[in-house]
Amino acid sequence: MKVSEEYYDEIFEFKGQWDMPSSCGLKIRQVDGKNYIIVTELYQDNPGTSVTYAGKSLAEQVCQAKGLNLEECVYIECTPDTNSKLSFYDEEYYAVDFDADIQHKYHQLSNEEIKSILDHKVIG
């Protein structure tokens, strides 16, 4: 399952669980003064922790590397479309609220919502 490069502007190396070397796709966009961090699961090209399991630690590592304040960012996880017959590998984007309870932690974004974010200025 190779992830198309259209899903990321760069490969971001991070420390996963137990400091396991890990990587994800990364895009950062700025919309109306707010920064959107979009991390994409790379599946077979990620030797370590998935973006979902890395969670807030990954968000903090991206912010530190890019000089951003997490409090001023919206963190989004992407499962990219890999043209698999399994619906688990369909394209989906989730905004993550690290302070919410587990039931409200993830909010799936519509195609229109993510398109409006991706169409904005690239920062990084």
Res 100 pLDDT > 80: yes
Which helix or strand (DSSP H or E) is residue 56 part of?
A: helix 51-66
pLDDT band at 24 (very low <50, low <70, confident <90, very high): very high
Query: Is the pLDDT at 122 greater than 80, yes or no?
Result: no
Give the pLDDT score at 4: 87
Mean pLDDT of 34-49: 94
pTM exceeds cut of 0.85 = yes
The Cα–Cα gap between 34 and 117 comes to: 10
pLDDT band at 81 (very low <50, low <70, confident <90, very high): confident
**How is residue 60 written in tokens?**
């903090």
pLDDT band at 120 (very low <50, low <70, confident <90, very high): confident
Structure tokens at 52: 């979902």
Q: Any bridge partners for residue 93, and if so which? A: 78
- Bridge partners of 76? 38, 95
